[in-house]
Amino acid sequence: MTETFRLMLVQANPILGDIAGNLGKARAAWAEAKAAGADMVALTEMFVTGYQTQDLILKPAFRDAAIRGIEALAVDCADGPAIGIGGPALLDGRLFNAFWILQGGRIHARVLKHHLPNDAVFDEKRVFAAADVTGPYVVNGVRIGTPICEDAWHPDVAETLAETGAEILLVPNGSPYHRGKPNLRLNLMVSRVVETGLPLVYLNMVGGQDDQVFDGSSMVLNPGGRLAVQMPQFDECSTLVTFRRTAEGWRAEEGEKAPVPPIGEADYRACVMGLADYMRKTGFSKAVLGLSGGIDSAIVAAMACDALGPENLRCVMLPSEFTSAHSLEDAGEAARRLGCRLDTLPIAATQKAATETLAPLFAGTDPGVTEENLQSRIRGLLLMALSNKYGEMLLTTGNKSEMAVGYCTIYGDMNGGYNPVKDMYKTRMFLTARWRNENHRPWMKGPAGEVIPARIIAKPPSAELRANQTDQDSLPPYEVLDAILEGLVEREASVADLVAEGFERATVKKIEHLLYLAEYKRHQSAPGTRLTQKAFWLDRRYPIAMRWRDGSAE
């Protein structure tokens, strides 16, 4: 009877659509596991294709290439440990999210996903069929049950596997980050362990995919919910876990227990990883952004330096007649501290030419928001020209507060390919700036120290599109604005709820109106890192043309 079982867990970063590259990673992991004397090597959900595939998986040529790749992997890795790897399966014309077990040069077993998530960023019911629950498979004498990701968020699949003889639960995942996700996963997996009495392996992928960032945090739990192994958050890595048979069943030996970073650090790293992978996976190595001397662009510049290295970031200052001297000084100082390039392109002449061109059609009207926004659109035009000329992805820098109420100019400061702070409210931007100034980590490619000047953090935010302008001219203080938005967006609270919490009804109604009015802008905005469960795009999907307003506090 087998007394030990060695399982290598691979917390890796696949590239969506790169079937050959992902299979290459799997072969390298298998070779590492073979050299380490493992019985099995496990990779994550849909690893062969990358995740989430969205409708790409419905293309027969793509799906068939993935399945052929899995079959070839089995043949190539015949003499060594078994492989568990996620990929699509096609049965009787129906497409499934599957976990393939390869051993001895053949397909040894195949598990099909039962529960298909259809909320938040997931709509797997659109592309996959739900399978019946099946029993465990056997690898080197050990009966292993595999609930695939969402299957482990419900008790029924794990209970069925336990009842049909599973001795260890192996859960492959594609679980994206949001604040508090590691604790949520831990609590759910502890529940599965307590319910079944079995040790459980939770294996999650890492890496950025469009707006989502997969954060790893893979773990191994022994019966009773005791943590035996905790793999790092966000890092690509592998670890060999040894299970030993005891009188009470299989138990994992104690191993690495990496600390889980606090939310502020995790958010920052998610933004950096999301940006770095979006650039890498879309073929960009250099970025450009408009550095205004304000906090938002300074934070994005720091993130870009940490993601790409300062040598791969171009910052551009685009002053107008309303740009203050301190903004010019602060932008220059931020670029100097980060060690990145800073160019200056004054826009006064371009603005004058545009104004003169429009003058015949604007005759008889008063200057106003249109002329203010023209400055932003000129900046967007020039930044996009630099991006186009030099192949540098333009980063946009609007925070979630601005995106929520539309205090951003479409075809102006919203221009860009990616926005790492799209899901970060303004009040958290200040906290993030202070955290980055006080902390440096090995994964950061930018310099240590106070890279965001203190004056940038302390001064009142301003778009500087007219004389003596501040954001608070037409918005409530950011601590009030963000609290109202947290209610309207994150909690779907009613106007009456927020009035009962102490906010002025007129203020709440104004913010509600701005929120709904700006929907068309958000539909055209760049993708950005998801940090919350109500990020603008897949988490929160509202119509553009609609007239409903909440009258609950009338």
DSSP 202-251: EEE-EEEETTEEEEB--EEEETTTEEEEEPPBS--EEEEEEEEEETTEEE
The SS3 assignment for 40 reads strand
Name the nearest CA neighbour of 339 among 307, 313, 318, 317: 313
DSSP state of 489: I
Backbone angles phi, psi at 252, to 5 degrees: -85, 140
Q: Is 32 exposed, middle or buried (0-12, 13-18, 19+ CB in 10 A)?
A: middle
Q: How far apart are CA 528 and CA 271, in angstroms?
A: 8
Q: Cβ of 108: how many Cβ atoms within 10 Å?
A: 17
> Does the model's pTM come out above 0.75?
yes
Distances (CA, A) of 161 to 41, 131, 155: 20, 14, 10
User: Taking the chain (554 residues) in consecutive chunks of 10 residues, what is each chunk's mean pLDDT?
Assistant: 92 98 98 98 98 96 98 97 98 97 97 94 95 96 97 97 98 97 96 98 98 98 96 98 96 96 96 98 97 96 98 96 83 95 96 95 93 93 97 97 95 96 97 97 98 91 59 82 97 96 96 96 96 94 92 75
User: CA angle at residue 342 from 341 to 347, to 5 degrees?
Assistant: 150
Stretch (H or E) spanning 275: helix 263-282
Residue 526: beta bridge partners? none
Residue 208: beta bridge partners? 213
Domain residue limits, the chain = 4-253, 264-468
In 61-118, which ranges are E strands?
Answer: 82-91, 94-103, 106-112
The SS3 assignment for 495 reads helix
Report the pLDDT value the prediction gives residue 470, as an integer from 0 to 100: 62
Report the pLDDT value the prediction gives residue 120, as an integer from 0 to 100: 86
Backbone angles phi, psi at 441, to 5 degrees: -125, 155
Identity of residue 68: R
Structure tokens at 366: 């008063």
Distances (CA, A) of 178 to 81, 211, 215: 34, 11, 9
Q: Which residues are catalytic?
A: 45, 113, 149
Q: How far apart are CA 531 and CA 177, in angstroms?
A: 7
Beta carbons of 73 and 64 less than 8 angstroms apart: no
CATH code of the domain occupying 4-253 = 3.60.110.10
Q: How far apart are CA 478 and CA 272, in angstroms?
A: 24
| H helix runs in 339-472, sequence order | 348-362, 369-390, 400-405, 426-438, 454-458
Report the pLDDT value the prediction gives residue 472, as an integer from 0 to 100: 66
Structure tokens at 88: 């699509």
Under CATH, domain 264-468 is a member of which superfamily? HUPs (3.40.50.620)
The SS3 assignment for 373 reads helix
